[in-house]
């Protein structure tokens, strides 16, 4: 029995001539909230689907919940909760009817009790008789999470679960995820939001189907090799426009009255900012967003 909830090695997957995942090795510990980052097409969804047995890898081995991801795929699916990118429940059924349908699929012995309990746990009481199509994006998301949690899974696989919902709903969703992690649930979640990635215990960054960076958010930012400065002053928009494209400047972004610049060549970057004496400069820690943009640019250059 593996010590990891997810323990896979050298997974590869192609669709025709297109290689989507290449030699991917990943371990996720019990109770960990692991963030999956990467550009569209980087292999995140394909990896998640291999972990839960919806796709068979072309090569590689591994376990999920101690079960073989190929041989024991049906058993794995009974013990996980998988939340897809898009809301995938029936809009013409009520919240209660959707959950009763899911409970039936899992052959739960007491459907009515299970649905009643999860509606209370997810605070869906006021919407129990509403059609799913009439819910806001945030409440549809909560219904989807309730359906994932209905059968008391040991692992949640969440594929960009907060896409298209407002900031308040995202915050409430993540508060709930961390509450579940405290209870011992393990979570693997893909996201494009840097504030969400920073709430993960560990992040894994994919590029072209390979893991290129992993660690906690602060560690990843510090290991990136990026040098970052903030400049404060007037006419920030104009300064940002003039700085973009200068040698050593990979990015120049405006945040209120601050100009945030990043690059990997310290000498060139410092020569660039030295031309802008109107601004007061200070070196700062790289942000996770800086790393994300840097990795995207590196990936595009490699193509």
Structural domain boundaries in the chain: 30-54+78-220, 227-285
pLDDT recorded at residue 213: 87
Instruction: List all residues 6 or more positions away from 206 whose beta carbon is below 8 Å from its beta carbon.
Output: 24, 36, 37, 38, 42, 43, 44, 47, 212
Fold classified for 227-285: Alpha-Beta Plaits (3.30.70)
Q: Can you say how many angstroms the Cα of residue 3 is from the centroid of all Cα atoms in its chain?
A: 23
pLDDT recorded at residue 129: 96
CATH superfamily of 30-54+78-220: P-loop containing nucleotide triphosphate hydrolases (3.40.50.300)
Nearest-5° Cα angle at 99, 97 to 105: 105
Q: Rounded to whole angstroms, how far apart are CA atoms 206 and 56?
A: 19
Give pLDDT tens digits along the chain (303 positions): 457 999 999 999 999 999 999 999 999 999 999 999 888 888 999 999 999 989 999 999 999 999 999 999 999 999 999 998 777 889 999 999 999 999 999 999 999 999 999 999 999 999 999 999 999 988 998 999 999 999 999 999 999 888 777 888 888 889 989 998 998 999 999 988 888 888 999 999 998 889 988 999 888 888 889 999 999 999 999 999 999 989 999 999 998 889 999 999 999 999 999 999 999 999 999 988 888 888 877 766 666
pLDDT recorded at residue 163: 79
Helix axes 111-121, 137-149, angle to 10 degrees: 130
Q: Which two tokens stand for residue 110?
A: 């007491």
Number of H helices, E strands in the chain: 11, 14
pLDDT recorded at residue 192: 82
Q: Are 80 and 86 in contact (CB under 8 A)?
A: no
Q: Rounded to whole angstroms, how far apart are CA atoms 260 and 85?
A: 32
pLDDT recorded at residue 303: 60
pLDDT recorded at residue 301: 66
């Amino acid at each position: 029995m593996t010590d990891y909830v997810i323990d896979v090695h050298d997974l590869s997957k192609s669709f025709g001539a297109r290689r989507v995942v290449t030699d991917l090795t990943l371990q996720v510990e019990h109770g960990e909230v692991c963030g999956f980052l990467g550009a569209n097409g980087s292999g995140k969804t394909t990896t998640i689907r291999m972990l839960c047995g919806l796709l068979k890898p072309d090569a590689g081995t591994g376990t999920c919940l101690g079960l073989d991801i190929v041989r024991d795929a049906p058993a794995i699916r009974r013990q996980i909760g998988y939340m897809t990118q898009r809301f995938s429940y029936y809009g013409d059924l009520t919240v209660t009817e959707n959950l009763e349908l899911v409970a039936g699929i899992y052959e739960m012995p007491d459907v009515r009790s299970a649905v009643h309990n999860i509606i209370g746990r997810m605070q869906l009481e006021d919407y129990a008789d509403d059609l799913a199509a009439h819910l806001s994006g945030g409440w549809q998301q909560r219904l989807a999470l309730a359906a994932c949690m209905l059968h008391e899974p040991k692992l949640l696989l969440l594929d960009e679960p907060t896409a298209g919902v407002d900031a308040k709903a995202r915050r409430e969703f993540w508060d709930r995820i961390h509450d579940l992690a405290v209870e011992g649930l393990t979570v693997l979640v893909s996201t494009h939001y840097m504030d969400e990635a920073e709430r993960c215990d560990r992040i894994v960054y994919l590029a072209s189907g390979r893991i290129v960076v992993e660690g906690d958010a602060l560690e990843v930012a510090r290991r990136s090799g990026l040098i970052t400065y903030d400049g404060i002053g007037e006419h920030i928009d104009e300064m940002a426009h003039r700085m973009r494209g200068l040698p050593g400047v990979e990015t120049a972004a405006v945040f209120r009255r601050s100009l945030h610049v990043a690059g990997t060549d310290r000498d060139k970057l410092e020569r660039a900012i030295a031309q802008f004496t109107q601004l007061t400069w200070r070196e700062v820690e790289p942000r996770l967003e800086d790393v994300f943009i840097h990795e995207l640019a590196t990936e595009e250059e490699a193509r």
